[in-house]
Every structure is written in C-alpha cells, then in structure tokens.
C-alpha cells in the first residue's frame, strides 16, 4: 500500500529509514556532512530536485538564471538539493527563493553550503537544512551550473526523484528504484518499535523485549 507524503511525515524519521536502508544492504545513505536544521525541528520528507553550484570570482552575465528555472519547475513535495561543496562564500538560499519554491509546492531545501534570511524562513516554517549562514548575496559569488543531474554530498550520490528524509538526527537519501520497499520496511519498523516500547514501559526487560520482538 502506497502512502502519501503527509502520512510519511507523520510517521517516519531519519533513523528508522536508515535502518530500513541497512536491511536492504544500502549502508551508506546518510549524508556525512553536518547540515543541521536551520529553521524548523520537524521531519522533512520529499522528492529530491538536485542542483550543482560553483564559486565564481568574476561578474556573472546571467545571475540567478538556472536557480530560478529550477525553482519555477518545482512540483508538490519536491525538496531542492543544493550541492555547493560546503562553500560559505554566500547565502545561496533565502526568503525569496523559499517563497517562490513554496508557492510551487516545494517542501524544503538542503544546502551543502550557506543560507541567509533565516529568521524570515523560520517565520514561514519552511524547512531548511544547511552547513551554515552567510549574509552575502550569491550574485557574482556563486551560481548554479546544472540541475536535475546527479550530485554527491557527504559520500552519498543523490539524483532527482530520490526520496529524502531529514530531521535533527540527520539526512537519509532513499534511491527512487528502491523507495517503495525501503519506505514500507521503515513503516513496519516504526510499528514494531511502538510495540516493543510499550512492552518495556509495562516492565519487560530489554533483553526479553529484544528476544521477543527482534527490534532495537
């Protein structure tokens, strides 16, 4: 049974999805860079839309061109992935892009680099995960070189169409081709953990609970 993104957000979290990836032999699906939540503390679940960024040191003849095309092409439940190699040269994502992307149905952004307008994005309750913050505009400092092409962040290859689950514990990428079985397994594990937790609360020992339910 397929579940909606809204249902997945209410039930899943990054750790249980990472466990499900392990179950299917995908043991390196969590981004190993520090990209903490900057604006919200909830769970972000969506479909990846990738973009590649580069630092520039001369005047850009077409500033913002590709990033605006990407934002305008966003659809419901998309999450923009901005691969900027951890650059702190400028805040490549801010309030205006968040507003435009949100209007298209985008549910968040992950930036391997810096963002700005954090207070305003927090007021919007727009989920943003990023390496840090910078007050500088990206114009003539950084630019998008391509979007909807594979990118690599923190040891994980990410393609447009992959699923992403992000929260305070970390960010997990689920390859699109394996998403149905992995997300189903994560859903089942949440339910199994709830049963185990209830048994422990009622007095069952941890060893006995693990032996009975096989969940930790």
Annotated binding site for substrate: 94-97, 116
Euclidean distance between CA atoms 22 and 143, whole angstroms:
35
CB 178 within 8 A of CB 159: no
Q: Which two tokens stand for residue 57?
A: 């040191």
Q: Which residues are annotated as a binding site for Mg(2+)?
A: 117
Give the count of beta carbons closer than 10 Å to the beta carbon of residue 56: 17
Instruction: Kindly tell me the burial class for residue 88, based on how many C-beta atoms sit within 10 Å of its own C-beta (0-12, 13-18, 19 or more).
Output: middle
Euclidean distance between CA atoms 46 and 102, whole angstroms:
13
Backbone angles phi, psi at 207, to 5 degrees: -65, -50
Q: Which residues are annotated as a binding site?
A: 94-97, 116-117
Terminal-to-terminal C-alpha distance of the chain: 25
**What's the CA angle centered on 30, arms 28 and 32, to 5 degrees?**
100
Euclidean distance between CA atoms 196 and 216, whole angstroms:
8
């Amino acid at each position: 049974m397929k579940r909606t993104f809204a249902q997945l957000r209410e039930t899943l979290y990054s750790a249980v999805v990472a466990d499900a990836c392990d179950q299917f032999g995908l043991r390196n699906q969590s981004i190993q860079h520090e990209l903490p939540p900057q604006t919200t503390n909830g769970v972000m679940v969506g479909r990846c839309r990738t973009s590649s960024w580069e630092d520039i040191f001369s005047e850009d003849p077409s500033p913002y061109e590709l990033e605006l095309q990407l934002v305008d092409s966003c659809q419901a439940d998309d999450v923009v992935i901005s691969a900027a190699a951890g650059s702190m040269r400028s805040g490549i994502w801010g309030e205006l892009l968040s507003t435009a992307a949100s209007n298209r149905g985008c549910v968040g952004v992950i930036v391997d680099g810096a963002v700005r307008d954090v207070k305003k994005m927090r007021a919007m309750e727009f989920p943003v995960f990023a390496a840090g913050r910078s007050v500088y505009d990206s114009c003539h400092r950084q630019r998008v070189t391509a979007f909807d092409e594979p990118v690599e962040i923190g040891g994980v290859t990410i393609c447009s169409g992959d699923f992403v689950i992000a929260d305070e514990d970390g960010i997990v990428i689920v390859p699109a081709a394996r998403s149905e079985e992995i997300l189903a397994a994560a859903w089942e594990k949440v339910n199994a953990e709830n049963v185990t937790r209830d048994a422990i609360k009622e007095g069952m020992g941890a060893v006995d609970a693990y032996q009975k339910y096989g969940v930790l």
